[in-house]
């Protein structure tokens, strides 16, 4: 064999060897794939997903499926290049930078703890949203999360203050406070009744003008605790994050009302939920739709802010129904079940 041929042979072998070794090197990416779905009207591990005690409930049929995304990879268990390449070639999965799921300043354990906390929060918000939709009274402990610098509330309201009333109006949710402040004009005095260190006091604050000319005081709020008139328990096993909020709300609402919200069909969907019933955007919409279709769903409740992305990735046979609020989702499901009325569609913009 000539020296040139030998050199080419050795070089080819080295390139092949490096390629094989390189294919198994860990890379900072995460593969997202369709995860399992759970029927919020059904059971998980032989226990009801939603249990309501202290209030009359009604039988349900069909399915209201929450959808999930599974991930492979992460700082402590990185995928190799070959796995990433396979993912890039599979239209049902997504390969994203590791930092999308695991922020650089958080450990994998901290991310899991945050997801668990968000799941708990979404369950409380879902119960609040369902009761709000059904006009069942409840209360919440709304506290000050912080104030904006150089805004009227700075120095007058403190983190941890519990808001009891605004201008004499009982604080039920965060929206109660927002609505009451916005009912004023810039320059008006807004009187907050708060509890601080166990003592009740009134705090008058002169409202400033917001970006749109509305009154604002520059305070951020959070809900510390809900006081519901009965108990709602949600069991979903090893599922985290806030994106099942809408489907929890629908499941609770269906159990609390006579009739079949699903019309006996398999309905899937996703979206965060606020106590007032606003539906928010989520991640992994493409993978969640594939999981929904694989589970037999024909209708997919889609957050309005995810509609554009969903339209480009929807699998065949899955109807996308736009959901901006819980009320809109309920109205749409009623229309689908009865065959009467309009159904908001992502395609309609």
Of 122, 243, 255, 265, which residue is the catalytic one? 243
The verdict on whether 288 is a catalytic residue reads yes
How many percent of the chain have pLDDT more than 70?
A: 89
Query: What is the rounded distance in angstroms from the CA atom of residue 232 to the CA atom of residue 127?
Result: 7
Same domain, 295 and 335: yes
Query: What is the rounded distance in angstroms from the CA atom of residue 324 to the CA atom of residue 176?
Result: 20
| End-to-end alpha carbon distance in the chain | 69
Q: What is the pLDDT of residues 309-333, one digit of tens each?
A: 999 999 999 999 999 999 999 999 9
Residue count of the chain, please give it: 349
The verdict on whether 243 is a catalytic residue reads yes
Same domain, 188 and 314: no
pLDDT score for 96: 81
- Over the chain, what is the mean pLDDT? 86
How many percent of the chain have pLDDT more than 90?
A: 56
Question: What are the backbone dihedrals phi and psi of residue 243, each rounded to the nearest 5 degrees, phi first?
Answer: -75, -5
Q: What is the pLDDT of residues 22-57, one digit of tens each?
A: 444 677 788 888 999 999 999 988 899 999 999 999
Same domain, 257 and 323: yes
pLDDT class of 14 with cuts at 50, 70, 90: very low
Same domain, 123 and 155: no
In our burial notation (b when 16+ CB lie closer than 10 A, e otherwise), range 262-297 reads bbebbbbbbbbbbbbbbbbbbbbbbbbbbbbbebeb
Of 249, 255, 265, 288, which residue is the catalytic one? 288
Using CA atoms, how far residue 224 sits from 121, 152, 174, 200, 285, in Å, is: 10, 23, 11, 17, 30
Tell me the residue range of the domain where 154 lies: 139-227
- The residue among 222, 237, 230 whose CA lies nearest residue 130 is 230
Please count the structural domains in the chain. Answer: 2
In CATH, what number is assigned to the domain containing residue 269? 3.30.230
pTM of full prediction above 0.85: no
pLDDT score for 98: 79
Same domain, 181 and 245: no
Is 2 part of a structural domain of the chain? Answer: no
Q: What is the pLDDT of residues 140-191, one digit of tens each?
A: 889 999 999 999 999 999 999 999 999 999 988 888 898 899 999 999 999 9
């Amino acid at each position: 064999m000539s020296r040139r041929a030998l050199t080419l042979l050795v070089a080819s072998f080295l390139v092949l060897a490096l390629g094989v070794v390189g294919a198994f090197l860990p890379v900072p990416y995460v593969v997202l794939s369709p995860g399992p779905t759970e029927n919020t009207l059904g059971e998980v591990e032989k226990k009801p997903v939603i249990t309501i005690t202290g209030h009359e409930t009604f039988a349900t049929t069909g399915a209201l499926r929450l959808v999930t995304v599974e991930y492979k990879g992460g700082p402590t268990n990185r995928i190799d290049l070959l796995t990433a390449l396979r993912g890039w070639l599979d239209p049902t999965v997504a390969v994203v930078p590791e930092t999308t799921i695991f922020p650089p300043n958080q450990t994998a354990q901290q991310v899991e703890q945050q997801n668990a906390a968000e799941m708990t929060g979404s369950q409380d918000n879902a119960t609040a949203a369902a009761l709000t939709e059904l006009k069942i009274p409840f209360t919440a402990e709304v506290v000050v999360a912080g104030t904006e610098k150089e805004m009227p509330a700075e120095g007058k309201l403190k983190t941890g203050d519990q808001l009891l009333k605004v201008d004499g109006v009982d604080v039920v949710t965060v929206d109660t406070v927002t609505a009451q402040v916005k009912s004023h004009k810039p320059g008006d005095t807004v009187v907050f009744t708060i509890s601080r260190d166990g003592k009740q006091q009134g705090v008058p604050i002169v409202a400033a003008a917001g970006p749109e000319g509305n009154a604002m005081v520059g305070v951020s709020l959070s809900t510390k605790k809900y006081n519901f008139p009965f108990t709602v328990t949600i069991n979903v096993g090893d599922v985290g994050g806030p994106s099942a909020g809408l489907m929890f709300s629908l499941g609770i609402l269906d159990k609390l009302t006579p009739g079949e919200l699903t019309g006996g069909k398999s309905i899937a969907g996703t979206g965060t939920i606020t106590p007032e019933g606003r539906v928010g955007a989520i991640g992994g919409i493409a993978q969640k739709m594939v999981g929904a279709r694989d589970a037999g769903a024909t209708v997919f409740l889609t957050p309005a802010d995810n509609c554009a992305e969903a339209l480009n990735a929807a699998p065949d046979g899955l109807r996308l129904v736009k959901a901006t609020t819980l009320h809109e989702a309920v109205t749409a499901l009623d229309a689908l079940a009865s065959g009467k009325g309009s159904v908001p569609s992502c395609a309609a913009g």
